[in-house]
Amino acid sequence: MTAATAPLAGRLAPFYGNPMTPCRRRAVLLALLAAPLASCAPRAGTPPPPPLAREAFWANLRALCGQAFEGEIVASAPAGVDDDFAGRRMVMHVRECEDDVIRIPFHVGENRSRTWILTRTADGLRLKHDHRHEDGSPDEITMYGGDTAGPGTATVQEFPADRPTAAMLPAASTNVWTIELEPGLTYAYALRREGTERRFRAVFDLTRPVDPPPAPWGW
């Protein structure tokens, strides 16, 4: 027994007997080293740490690929600003899923001009709004949105307006878009404009898939 291991062996002798064989000594040392590591393991039921939370969100969204769902507006302010949506059937269609890009057309009645495009970047997630005319040409106001500023959670991701959006739409420079996904229950798309009363929120029922709608304009 070396001088380095003698004190430890002495302390363990009452539990394991004395003298300790080399094999038994190695087993004890490995057990002592493993104990702190085991204490660092996440507890059951705790939320995944970033960036695992973001990856879980992405995986849950991709799991909806090919499916379509009907929704409704549950919040809109100021009054009248979203009248174009009133009384019209709203359907989201998770139409295309690549490893790093998911395209979700958002149909309002017969209007098929809108597509949400989510992209996985090196720093997080990006949301853009692709708007097109019926002939497929881009709208004058299109591809606005933003990137996540934090890790978010497995069910909620927020997208503050980016600089190109602020340049294109100065009034929207404080926009924050939110996507909430409760697997098997609901998908929500929301907008708030910081410092104003502007609010929008639409919720889609994931428990009742509907027939996929026609392709969005330009596809």
pLDDT digits (tens, 9 = 90+) for 56-73: 999 999 999 999 999 999
Mean pLDDT of the chain: 86
| CB atoms near residue 111 (< 10 Å) | 15
Number of domains in the chain: 2
Do residue 137 and residue 188 come from a single domain?
yes
Q: What is the CATH number of the domain that holds 58?
A: 2.40.128
Q: 22-39 and 6-16 are packed helices; what angle lies between their axes, rounded to 10 degrees?
A: 90
- Tell whether 78 and 184 lie within a shared domain: yes
pLDDT over 60 (residue 37) = no
Q: Kindly state whether residues 34 and 86 are assigned to the same domain.
A: no
> For position 219, what pLDDT does the model report?
85
- What pLDDT was estimated at residue 22? 53
Average pLDDT over residues 89-93: 98
Q: Does one domain contain both 173 and 206?
A: yes
Residue 219 lies in a domain: no
Q: What are the phi and psi torsion angles at 117 (to 5°)?
A: -120, 115
The per-residue pLDDT for 24 is: 53
Q: Does 109 lie in the same domain as 145?
A: yes
Q: Are residues 164 and 204 in the same domain?
A: yes
Is residue 152 within 8 Å of residue 127, measured between CB atoms?
no
Is residue 44 one of the residues assigned to a domain? no
Find the domain containing 178 and state its range. 52-210
Question: Which among 217, 119, 205, 129 has a CA at the least distance from the CA of 172?
Answer: 129
**For the chain, percent of residues with pLDDT exceeding 90:** 74
78 touches 197 (CB < 8 A): yes
pLDDT in tens, 1-25: 544 444 444 444 443 444 555 555 5
Kindly tell me if the per-residue pLDDT of 47 is higher than 90. no
More confident residue, 46 or 157: 157
8-state DSSP, 141:
S
pLDDT for 158-180, tens place per residue? 999 999 999 999 999 999 999 99
Mean pLDDT of 103-113: 98
Which CA distances in Å does 22 have to 6, 8, 27, 29, 174? 12, 13, 9, 11, 67
